[in-house]
Amino acid sequence: MDGLDLDGLERVNAKFHAHTGERREGDLVWRIPRRDGGDAYVMLLLEFQSTPDHWMALRLLVYAGLLWQQLVSERRLLPDGRLPPILPIVLYNGDPRWRAPVELRDLIGLSEASPMWCWQPGLRYHLIDEGAFGEGELEVRDGLPALLFRLENTSDPGLLSGVADAVLAWFARHRGFDAARGIFVELLSAAMAPLGPGVPVPEELLEMRNMLATRMEQWLLEREQRGEQKGRQQGETAVLLRQLERRFGILPDWARDRVLAADSAMLEQWSLRVLDAAKLEEVLA
């Protein structure tokens, strides 16, 4: 990377299309000038799907060929006339973890001992699997990608306050990232949605952080109350099942299923009926 001029990074309007014939807006290509002359290219594919693409290496080989073909047509080659290097990157944020081969030759049904092996095409891509990074590993990284991964991987709302503080601290240390700041406002808004459905979300990070702290207190209280209510209902269910078995013997599956699915009001009503009912059906009618 020392030989690349990252300040000259430029988005390329590559003429690539998916196998469906539709343009994939998530597939990005950047040109990076090389200090020794010529360019290098980074191909970034964003995968927001629930199942990893087993044929990703093959897809990237096709994209690399199309990019090189375009560069040849536009005469954007190295000073010595050779093709510029390409770095293929796959950014994946789905579940489960990525298990697809990252090297094209792993997809080819041929032994490396075969005389034909040396003629097989080769391509390897760099995989960034967001879900494979632990929270502790991301916390020690000071950069927007780590903050992005923490936001997208936060399944426990209790951790959102800490992530929001980290986002605020980063933008306080780095001025001039207004576009990125807007993206993180949207990400935090999406992450906060389960805490307060229908509640308007502020458009500033600091206001959002203060609102998040308030909503977290309410959410934790509501979660505690739900836990207590669930515990009481489980106790009522267990008591009623014991009463029914003591009165009518071993319960059939349909009766046990109805009791387990009942709410607190119904459990209370059935617990009163069990005192006078002559048959199980009269209790659970």
pLDDT for the residue 56: 92
Domain-terminating residue out of 81, 100, 132: 132
- Position 256 in a domain: yes
- Position 140 in a domain: no
24 plus 127 within the same structural domain: yes
Q: How far apart are the first and last CA of the chain?
A: 74
Within 13 Å, how many C-alpha atoms sit on residue 272's CB side?
5
pLDDT for the residue 100: 94
- Position 200 in a domain: no
pLDDT lower than 70: segments of the chain: 1-2, 14-27, 48-50, 155-158, 189-223
pLDDT in tens, 145-194: 888 888 777 766 667 777 777 887 888 788 877 777 777 777 776 666 65
In terms of Cβ atoms closer than 10 Å to its own Cβ (0-12, 13-18, 19+), residue 227 is exposed
- Position 211 in a domain: no
pLDDT for the residue 82: 92
- Position 203 in a domain: no
User: How many domains in the chain?
Assistant: 2
pLDDT for the residue 22: 47
pLDDT for the residue 209: 58
231 plus 125 within the same structural domain: no
- Position 201 in a domain: no
2 plus 120 within the same structural domain: yes
- Position 148 in a domain: no
Boundaries of domain holding 265 = 225-283
- Position 175 in a domain: no
